Amino acid sequence: MAQKTAEIFDLQGKANGKIDLPAVFDTPLRPDVIKRAVLSIQSHRLQHQGRDPMAGKKTSAESRGTGSAIARVPREKGGGGTAAFAPGTVGGRQGHPPRAEARIVKEIPKKEKQLALMSAIAATASKETVA
């Protein structure tokens, strides 16, 4: 592969000479790898969210079982028969809440990250790509 060169301009904008570009500018353009690296960096900004694992479970509610002519939802003790604990009740837990332990940070291998950086640097040598 031929060595790439770039023109040097003075402060007035006139061509003043040429310079050989480093080997990093010979890296092929890989938009797919660059996009993966950008998404990986952007995912570091995401804030973890989730519920307290004990949310909705801090109650003395128990099911009374069958034979009382009432629904078998857990009811608070001493609470006048108020339903609690179960997902379908007021004051109960959520059915399938978001978990705080879920990993939302996307990571890519070190070599792929380096390839993305070198590919992005090499893309700056092409006027059409930058435009």
How does pLDDT run across 97-106, given as a tens digit for each residue? 988 888 889 9
Helix (H, G, I), strand (E, B) or coil at 68: coil
- Residue 18: pLDDT above 90? yes
Contact 113, 120 (CB under 8 A): no
pLDDT tens, position by position, 66-95: 998 888 889 888 878 888 888 988 888 889
Read off the pLDDT of each residue in 10-29 and give the average, rounded to a whole number.
Answer: 93
**4 — pLDDT class (breaks 50, 70, 90):** confident
Measured from the Cβ of residue 127, the count of other Cβ atoms closer than 10 Å reads: 7
Residue 56: the pLDDT is 85
pLDDT grade for 31, boundaries at 50, 70 and 90: very high
Q: Phi/psi class of residue 126: alpha, beta or left (left: φ > 0; alpha: ψ in -120 to 50)?
A: beta
pTM: 0.66
Question: What is the pLDDT averaged over residues 108-126?
Answer: 95
* Cα–Cα nearest to 109, from 97, 101, 117: 117
**Does 1 score more than 70 pLDDT?**
no
What share of the chain has pLDDT > 70, as a percent? 98
